[in-house]
Amino acid sequence: MDLAAEYNNRALVPDHPEIIARWRRDAAAYRAAHGGDLDIAYGARPRNRVDLFPGHGGQGQGPLIVFIHGGYWRSFDKSAFSHVAGPANAAGFDVAVPGYTLCPEVTVADIIDEMRQCCLHLGQRFNRRLVVTGHSAGGHLAAAMAATEWPLYGARADLIQACLSISGLFDLRPLLATPYNDDLRLSPAGAMAASPLFWPAPSRIAFESWVGAEESFEFRRQARSLAAAWEGLGLSCRYEEVAGENHFSIGDLLARPGHPLTRRLLELAGA
């Protein structure tokens, strides 16, 4: 198998520049129309900022939904994904969209720690549980949050109520054989240590892994892997392939009211 080709989503989706440009336009339009509490600091690094979009007519009840952006831990910014908050906001849920420091300035392990710091900040500030979701590298980070032993960080054990990963990567070892590792700088041991597939499974959490049916074999295998492993250990898990969607087109489906992916996220949040 040509792992470099399997993980090169930009080559597999020739129209990705148009899709990414649409993300940025739609995100800017959403901020302009709905505002939000932007660039809340959760840590010391410049990108340790989170945007909070309040639910329409909500009273701060129920869990806070956290969407983590992708980009192979080395690109993109939270500002390209504000619009994914739309349907959840319309349903009354507050949505947080965090940023994080990118590789190679930091390691993947550092980014996992930054997202933990963000979740701790949000949990303490709002005294609410979190439903974590994210796309691609964000799907990996969402699963890492679901598998974190939060009492070790001084937080309630059930800080994460549910996790919905979109096109997530859970075993980072194949990336050692790709050009992306020039920026990620993963060693074999570091790749395993940053892979939720090899962590102790969480308890009492709903976990779902969704992926585009048009994505590469490796991305679909990765998406299945964690759901299968955790289901085998007794967790409530679901794996779903979304017909007609590639790695980029699936990236902002949560911005579409009524889409099955959006409906499922809201159900996990208790809608």
pLDDT digits (tens, 9 = 90+) for 106-118: 999 999 999 999 9
The two beta strands, 95-98 and 206-212, are unpaired
Q: How far is CA 83 from CA 34, 45, 149, 179, 197, in A?
A: 10, 25, 31, 31, 30
**Is the Cα dihedral 264, 266, 270, 271 positive or negative?**
negative
Task: Note the pLDDT of residue 57.
Answer: 78
Residue 58 has pLDDT above 90, yes or no: no
CATH T-level topology, domain 3-269? Rossmann fold (3.40.50)
- Alpha-carbon distance of 111 to 186, in angstroms, equals 13
Task: Note the pLDDT of residue 36.
Answer: 94
Residue ranges of domains in the chain:
3-269
Residue 145 has pLDDT above 90, yes or no: yes
What is the percent of the chain with per-residue pLDDT over 90, rounded to a whole number?
A: 96
Mean pLDDT of 180-198: 98
Confidence of residue 3 (pLDDT cuts 50, 70, 90): very high
**0.85 exceeded by pTM:** yes
Task: Note the pLDDT of residue 61.
Answer: 72
Indicate the average pLDDT of the chain.
96
Mean pLDDT of 136-162: 97
Residue 217, number of CB atoms within 10 A of its CB: 9
Full strand arrangement of the beta sheet holding 160-166: 37-41, 49-53, 95-98, 64-68, 130-135, 160-166, 206-212, 236-242
Confidence of residue 271 (pLDDT cuts 50, 70, 90): low
Mean pLDDT of 206-224: 98
Task: Note the pLDDT of residue 103.
Answer: 98
The two beta strands, 236-242 and 206-212, are parallel
- Alpha-carbon distance of 168 to 135, in angstroms, equals 6
Residue 1 has pLDDT above 90, yes or no: no
Task: Note the pLDDT of residue 90.
Answer: 95
Q: How far is CA 104 from CA 107, 109, 144, 180, 246, in A?
A: 6, 12, 20, 10, 27
- Taking only the tens place, the pLDDT of each residue in 224-264 is 999 999 999 999 999 999 999 999 999 999 999 999 999 99
